[in-house]
Amino acid sequence: MLSALIGAFKVPELRKKILFTLGILALYRFGAYLPVPGIPFRQFAEAFANSGSGVSMSMLDLFTGGALSHFSVFSLGIMPYITASIIMQLMQGVIPTVGRWAKDGETGRRKITQVTRYMTMGLGLINAVGYLLLFQSPAYGVRFSSDVPYALTSIIVVFTLVAGTAFIMWMGELITQRGIGNGMSLIIFVSIVSRVPSAIFSSITHSTTMQQGIAITILIVAVVCVCIPLIIYVERAQRRIPVNYAKRMQGRRMMGGQSTYIPFKVNAAGVIPIIFASCLIYFPAQIAALFNVGWLTSFANMISTGIVNWVLTLFLIVFFAYFYTSMVFNPVDTSDNLKKQGGFIPGIRPGFATETYLRNVLRRVTLPGGIFIALIAIVPSILFYFTNNQLIQAFGGTSILIMIGVALDTMTKMESQLKMHNYEGFFK
């Protein structure tokens, strides 16, 4: 691992990408503590901590890396963009025009990206107004300076929050295009990791005694360390479908006659089902922040914790695992391509039989993968519900799956770059 990392910095192109990515992420963390004009920074942070915010608001604060609890420029985080991405993914299967865009190659992807950006700005505007109304309620007590008109200050706050969302979206796209890994995923990764030190300190100090706090913290960290290899094993597990190619003459050359395989990952969707499910579950909290209605806030808190949250999380994660896998892998196209290239699966006829076989294998492989990541996400939530330990929330199943998934994806992309320059990769 260390030698591979040193080798990565020896490659000028890869070194520039790594440093560029780290620089953008550092800029994001700076923005998480940059106060919005007109908001008393320290007073609001203390009011947020003492207000007894619900579980939904605590999870939203976790995904923003603490920016929400400080009402900073990046308070909205990456959630508006992810929510817009979910909506566009669903629209591809519902609206024929959007579905055609997804199949039009680069031109269609640009159209989808453009619509996603506009939708992100709209959702950011809704969230900004909602947070402004929520934080001015008696529970938080944000008060503007009397020297500036109330309407003008409100406009400045909303504009700053929406601009922060646009800036985060731009930084994520920059990392994806010019850095290493997926920019949006890395931003979420950094947001979660940044909360771990404070969660460890809270776990130690909020126990009955210091010794008990240290013991509980060590136990939680040890359990996490034991679970990480298991999660990595499942993340990299795959079912390999053998494929043979018949020999054929092409001009004067004999082509084909080789064997390969089609890899079906157990968790082909990665962390996407976790992120999508979390966004949908905590979306009512964002709506409740907009309207600030008692029953809506109670409903948001109800689906954010307890048995309703656990059942809903299980269902949504499995659903999105199937949904996203079906979006990235099409058995019909794969079957047609194999038939055109003279390939076949041993014992399976080309054409419709191959398509049916691939679809059945995909269903059987995706189900255990979806259930596994759902259980990893739910079990820590159950433990946090009964213990109220902040470290369990920070090191919860959702958080750790996102961190491991993003880390593996980034390391895989770095390894492909290293192998291009004849360096040994991370995975041996």
- The predicted pLDDT at position 71 comes to 80
Which of 365, 346, 345, 364 minimizes the C-alpha distance to 355? 345
Could you tell me which residues are beta bridge partners of residue 343? Answer: 245
pLDDT for residue 253 = 63
Task: Give me the amino acid identity at 380.
Answer: P
Strands (E), 309-402: 343-344
Q: Specify the pLDDT at position 146.
A: 60
Q: In order of start, what are the domains of the chain with their CATH numbers?
A: 12-194 (1.10.3370.10), 200-395 (1.10.3370.10)
Tokens of 103: 């199949």
Cα dihedral value 315, 316, 321, 324, nearest 10:
150
- CA-nearest of 225, 190, 185, 240 to 412 is 185
**Mean pLDDT, each 10-residue run in order, the chain (428 residues):** 66 83 89 80 68 60 75 84 81 78 79 88 86 71 67 84 90 87 84 79 74 79 80 82 72 64 81 76 69 71 77 87 80 81 80 85 86 82 73 70 79 76 57
pLDDT number for residue 156? 86
Phi then psi dihedrals of residue 33, to 5 deg = -120, 10
Residues 14, 418: contact at Cβ < 8 Å? yes
Q: What are phi and psi of 254, to 5 degrees?
A: -85, 120
pLDDT for the residue 144: 65
Residue-wise DSSP of 185-250: HHHHHHHHHTTHHHHHHHHHHTSSSHHHHHHHHHHHHHHHHHHHHHHHHHHH-EEEEEEEE--EEE
